[in-house]
Amino acid sequence: MFQPKAILVPTDFSAFSERAFRKALDIAKYFTARILVLHVVRVLPVAVGDYWFDAPTINRIQADIEKASRDEIGSFVGKIPDAKDISIELDVQSGVPYEQIVKDAAEKRVDLIVMAARGKTGIKEHLLGGTADRVIRHATCDVLIVRDRE
């Protein structure tokens, strides 16, 4: 029987991600598993249009976004009362979301990734294949996709 001991929950702080987190909490309670909540900050581009940013500026902005994300991830987990009874680790990384999710899942030896079918991204992600689609294709562990409807 499948008995996950470590569950990775990627979040973009959307309502869809919150729904996936709640589902992961239910699974974690049932199996006495720990949860790892991950937010991936996309790496900023060096150029926007004709304007180029210097490395120190990019690094400072990236660090500010990561700091804000660390605050947000704490709020994201803290607003759900059921979360206090579960072992939860919070992490913020920079990179390509699906790549970092798959990498963290392998490095932290998670048994299950629980994530939303979609997040905050727009039509471009939908047309090119979203993060969830890519995680399903590249993850070495099981992936549970939580749909955005009841």
CA–CA distance, 115 with 24 (Å, rounded to integer): 9
When computed from its CA atoms, the radius of gyration of the chain, rounded to whole angstroms, is 16
Contacts of 28 (CB under 8 A, 6+ apart): 4, 7, 34, 35, 86
Q: Which of 95-99, 102-106, 127-131, 132-136 is predicted least confidently?
A: 127-131
- Residue 20 or residue 51, greater confidence: 20
What is the rounded average pLDDT for all residues in the chain? Answer: 88
| Interaxial angle between packed helices 131-138 and 97-107, expressed in degrees from 0 to 180 and rounded to the nearest 10 | 40
Residue-range domains of the chain with CATH: 6-146 (3.40.50.620)
Give me the pLDDT at residue 121, please. Answer: 54
Query: pLDDT tens for residues 60-79?
Result: 999 999 999 999 999 999 99
Q: Is the pLDDT of residue 128 over 60?
A: no
Per the document, the length of the chain is 150
pLDDT at residue 53, as a whole number = 77
Number of other CB atoms surrounding residue 29 within 10 Å: 12
Going 83 to 10 to 27 to 18, the CA torsion angle's sign is positive
Q: Which helix (H) or strand (E) holds 6?
A: strand 6-10
Report whether 9 contacts 35 (CB < 8 A): yes
